[in-house]
Amino acid sequence: MAAPTTVHFWFDLVSPYSYLAHHNLIHRVLPKFPHVSLKYHPIVFGAVLNHIGNVGPAEIPSKRIALYRDIHRAAKRSGIVLGQPKTHPFKSVDALRCTLAVPPSSQASVITGLFAAAWSHRFQTDLSVPSELRKALVEIVGNEEEAERVIAKSKSDEVKGILRESTEAAINAGIFGVPSFTFNNSDEILWGNDKIDVVEEILAGQDSLNQQDHEFIREVLKTEGITRKK
């Protein structure tokens, strides 16, 4: 299979793994592939979880401490500054809408800035608080007037509809977690910051799985035995 020319990044700002994956993607991976374009897909992770009948890792008390240890280890291994929002999980929908209320030429910088506002400081920002979201946007776009314009547009039915459609597209595509990566020439979904090396392999046309491997995996899917009651 030919190497893909577009990588699709499905994310929610509430996800620390999305923050790490985005940093790795734009700083470590994509500079090696100048011909590859990046397509952002902000989605409401909670809606995806509701659809598949699951909960987020930070919502499971016994898993919560393991989650935070894991993301801080992952950040240190990648040399990424990682803090913590004031609260987590936090309601990210307003901030997600802001990423869709800017011109395409500004979307990457707004997404990068909002990720940093939430995750690169220690207990400094809660993007679910309107005043703190506004403050972050002022710093990102450079002035209060533009920040107010973005916030106003983010509240429009048009932008709300775009986020809803993006989330529905994720569900229809089989996205089950964030971050996820898909490609323009494949139906494969890669899930998690720990798949960043696989993303790089696929973009280089060097996927470690060959056609026979994929055919075998399709056969494996037919071997399902018992299933737990939900």
Query: What is the residue type of 89?
Result: P
Q: How far apart are CA 192 and CA 215, in angstroms?
A: 23
Contact (CB, 8 A) for 159 and 101 = yes
Euclidean distance between the first and the last CA atom of the chain, given in angstroms as a whole number = 38
Residue 16's Cβ-side half-sphere holds a number of Cα atoms within 13 Å equal to 25
Q: Cα torsion at 35, 33, 204, 29 (round to 10°)? A: -140
Q: How far apart are CA 81 and CA 96, in angstroms?
A: 22
Q: Give me the catalytic one of 15, 92, 128, 154.
A: 15
Q: Is 105 a catalytic residue?
A: no
Residues assigned a catalytic role = 15
